[in-house]
Amino acid sequence: MTDYRKIDHLLQYILTLAGEEEWDNRELGPIHLIKYLYLSDLAYATDTGGETFTGLPWRFYKFGPWVEIAYERIEPAMLAIGAKERIFSTPKYDDIKRYSKVDDRLLSQLEEGVPLVICGPLRKAVHEFGSDTESLLDYVYKTLPMLKAAPNEPLDFSQVARKQKADEPKTEQEALTMRQKKKRKQAVDDLKRRFQLRTAPKDNTLVAPQEEPRYDDVFFEGVEWLDLLPGEPVEPGEAMVHFHPDVWKSKARYDPDLS
């Protein structure tokens, strides 16, 4: 269930977090605020079996994760904390909005209402990407719920919960056992390597020196012939590429062994 108070609170927290950064990274636009809001829900879902903090119905949209309610809450949330608003234009876009708020005391107050599982990852993301739209979008697009969805589909946050539970030990005893297994395997591998070095036969066979290639007419004619095998070179130009819709469900999007 969507909780507007949580949405407003997180949006305000995100902006005041940015207020700690250098002056050129303190201003955030709607697209930055929404992506950081998504990353907050993503961090929370890894610890709650896939349940998000805000309850927002995130979907795969043009610019990554998107939900209309979050966009609608930005302006009232910013007004409530007296955020500074700047509007400007570029040759490509008109009426671009940027918000900023530098207030350490407010930041501390807001942080008290944000779960710890969100604070760390969110602070790290805001510090790393700031208002760098391109880098932030690239990072968000590569998160698991996005990689497992097609355009306009709802995002499944249970994917990250299952992934975390499979990769991370649940108890301190499990963590200790995993470290012991890793050390034991490393010791065995080292022992095998030393044994192979001691038992490897010594080869005193002389190796004939490698002859230098001859760069004569025959060599260059052969290179020219090889260059012609693929056919005529492709002339530079513009083209429209169409992908089958099944590409969005391809394992190559999210399986690191196939990337």
CA–CA gap between residue 56 and residue 2 (Å, rounded): 5
Instruction: Show the tokens assigned to 117.
Output: 């599982």
Q: What was the pLDDT predicted at 235?
A: 78
Count of residues in the chain: 259
Can you give the residue ranges of every domain in the chain? 4-167
CA–CA gap between residue 145 and residue 156 (Å, rounded): 5
Return the HEC string of 216-227: CHHHHHHHHHHH
CB atoms under 10 Å from CB of 119, counted, come to: 15
Q: What is the pLDDT along the chain (259 residues), one digit of tens a residue?
A: 778 999 999 999 999 999 999 988 999 999 999 999 999 999 999 999 999 999 999 999 987 999 999 999 999 999 999 999 999 988 887 889 999 999 999 999 999 999 999 999 999 999 999 999 999 999 999 999 999 999 999 999 998 975 544 455 455 555 556 666 677 777 777 777 776 776 666 666 666 676 777 778 887 888 787 777 777 777 788 888 887 777 877 877 777 666 5
**Residue 52: exposed, middle, or buried by beta-carbon count in 10 A (0-12, 13-18, 19+)?**
buried
Instruction: Show the tokens assigned to 159.
Output: 């994917």
CA–CA gap between residue 121 and residue 68 (Å, rounded): 24
The SS3 call for residue 88 is: strand
